[in-house]
Chain A
Amino acid sequence: EFVLTQSPGTLSLSPGERATLSCRASQSVRINSLAWYQQKRGQAPRLLIFGASSRATGIPDRFSGSGSGTDFTLTISRLEPEDFAVYYCQQYGTGVTFGQGTRLEIK
């Protein structure tokens, strides 16, 4: 079973700060097939990053993804008020698996 573990569970930061979210896979993610989604309360997930580091259409460049193998990171360089949400990683190299999420909240 492919498991994605996200950390921390909750991250408390202030607007303007840098956010670093982690996603660790139980086995190597094939061809860096790792995506990140943002979900705000009451809304569907929104694709941010695919292929571990490529931004989806319309995503601001303050969002960046990195990593390979089993360790991946989503970085938000300077938090805007609209960035406070829940973030999920998803692998699609071996079936499809989502992580349990990291809640980014205003400190």
Chain B
Amino acid sequence: EVQLLESGGGLVQPGGSLRLSCAASGFTFNNYGMSWVRQAPGKGPEWIAGISGSGGNTYYGDSMGGRFTISRDNSKDTLYLQVRSLRADDTAVYYCAKETQAVGGTRDYWGQGTLVTVSS
């Protein structure tokens, strides 16, 4: 059974940084691209970034502004998202998701999400 378990969310002050983690199990991790998607309260999902199975290629959403870095450690079956210079509008549930096929396509498995709240 595919499982994705995010961690690292919480309350962060504006201007702060955060690293989110996603532990994967139930599939051959390095065979699949992975993505981070976030969802602000009452809004639709927003794709942040994706990474190829090897980790050699990364892709970012147009509106992400260079404050996000996606990475992975295939020896630990873990996906990461580093977020810098956090703002109030970064408040959202952050999901990691397994790409169905190519990175930037569709996502067939999602974690339960981790809530990031940016507030002073």
Contact = CB atoms under 8 A, between A and B. Distances in A.
B8 interface: no
A44 B62 contact: no
A92 B108 contact: no
Contacts of B45: 37, 45, 88, 90, 98
Interface residues of B, number: 20
Interface in B69-120: 95, 97, 100, 104-108, 110-113
Contact of A90 (B43, B106, B112): B106
Contact of A44 (B43, B100, B113): B113
Interface string A71-103: 000000000000000001010100111111100
A92 B103 CA distance: 10
A88 B44 contact: yes
Interface residues of A, number: 22
A55 to B, nearest CB: 12
Contacts of B44: 88, 98-101
B32 interface: no
A69 to B, nearest CB: 19
B113 to A, nearest CB: 6
A57 B108 contact: yes
Interface in A3-53: 33, 35, 37, 43-47, 50
Given A44-B111, A45-B110, A92 B46 contact: no
27 contacts: A1-B62, A33-B105, A37-B45, A44-B97, A44-B110, A44-B111, A44-B113, A45-B45, A50-B100, A50-B105, A56-B100, A56-B108, A57-B108, A88-B44, A90-B45, A92-B104, A92-B105, A95-B61, A95-B62, A95-B104, A96-B47, A96-B61, A97-B47, A98-B47, A100-B43, A100-B44, A101-B44
Interface of A: 1, 33, 35, 37, 43-47, 50, 56-57, 88, 90, 92, 95-101
